[in-house]
Amino acid sequence: GAAIGILGGGQLGRMLSVAASRLGLRTHIYDPGAEPPAGHVAETVTTAEWDDEVALRAFAGSVDVITYEFENIPAATLDLLESLRPVRPNRRALAVSQDRLTEKDFLTGLGLTTAPYRDVPTLAALEAALAEIGPQGILKTRRLGYDGKGQARLKGPGDAATAYAEMGGAEAILEGFVQFSHEVSVIAARGVTGEVACFDPGENLHEAGILRTTTVPARLAPGQHMDAILLAGKILNALDYVGVMGVELFVTPKGLVVNEIAPRVHNSGHWTQAGCTVDQFEQHIRAVAGWPLGNGQRYADVVMENLIGEDVAKVPALAKAADVQIHLYGKGAPRPGRKMGHVNRITRG
Ligand code: ATP
Ligand code: MG
Ligand code: MG
């Protein structure tokens, strides 16, 4: 049977691996970590550094197509892998989403609305940008940020120096503060032949920069619902994308504002495991393996709740509850802010 190579062995790689296995496809995980959570379910695991050319060649040689579960794969690693096997989603999708500045330029170039933003290579540039698009804003590192890491909030011009110092010399952009009523995301998929399928938008609640819950259906007027899906399709088509993408949106009185895109399965799409015939993980595997996309229609109302750190202590009680689907990532010791698992609660079947 065919084999899928997955770069990254976290919980997303793990759930992709389970989905592939259900379709009769073998998976090979590549991750520099010692005991990647996906390693327990994949057929083959390589734990080697991103610059280990021998290991990368052996990995590519053992699979038919390569995908990834996180966007920060080094460029040199991709150069090599791309020369050996198809990498899906493609390089451009990664390049665009690895750098917040490139990402914002791409999105605004498509005619979509983002937060106002400025490249701020120096403290003086930050002060000037704040005067233009402030007074409130968020300074974000251009690269490598996730779960709200690498961000500093500015309440006014007086915060510029402290916030700038917090970036620790990393390149950053300033975003104007968006006054949104709530956040939603669209999990969208595009197949090798260009067909697009979107899951119903979910409504996301963050706590301390980390996704806490996703609820479907999201609160969206019919027009906004359509807008969300159309703009996601526009992004995927523009990138000639193959696979699943998460598109995070702010809902404002003036319309939808794109926060960021993730070229992979997305935490806010975990509800699809309980709400759809084909969930985001199977959809992604179908897309990258060149299968037709599945039916992602939603047939239940679901609340997905992340189990973060000590939340896992709730699992025995959750196991007794009706209509709760439990997912644990096999990560070992809980640490504050560490995503240990999630539950999907059917609120209307
Ligand atoms: P993720 O884990 O989703 O990748 P991240 O670290 O990339 O998160 P963002 O999505 O950029 O961070 O921001 C995290 C959260 O902070 C957003 O979901 C939103 O709640 C808030 N936020 C980010 N940017 C803005 C903005 N410009 N205006 C208002 N709130 C914002
Ligand atoms: Mg992000
Ligand atoms: Mg985000």
Residues 5-55: pLDDT tens digits? 999 999 999 999 999 999 999 999 999 998 999 999 999 999 999 999 999
Query: What contacts 141, CB < 8 A, 6 or more positions away?
Result: 100, 150, 151, 167, 170, 171, 172
Domain residue spans in the chain?
3-87, 116-176, 182-348
Q: Ligand 2 mean position to 139 CA, how many Å?
A: 13
CB-based contact 19:282 (threshold 8 Å): yes
The verdict on ipTM greater than 0.90 is yes
**Residue 147: predicted pLDDT:** 84
Of 85, 71, 88, 33, nearest in space to 291 by CA:
88
270 is in an annotated binding site: no
Q: Which residue, by CA, sits nearest to atom 27 of ligand 1? A: 177
Residue 1: is its pLDDT beyond 80? no
Q: Is 259 near ligand 1, meaning CB less than 6 Å away?
A: yes
Domain covering 116-176 assigned CATH 3.30.1490.20 in the classification: yes
pLDDT tens per residue across span 41-84: 999 999 999 999 999 999 999 999 999 999 899 989 999 999 99
Q: What is the CATH number assigned to the segment(s) 3-87?
A: 3.40.50.20
Cα torsion 124, 125, 126, 130: sign: positive
Which token pair is 4? 């899928």
Q: Which CATH class is domain 182-348?
A: alpha beta
Kindly give the number of the ligand 1 atom that is closest to the alpha carbon of 148. Answer: 6
Cα torsion 81, 86, 89, 94: sign: positive
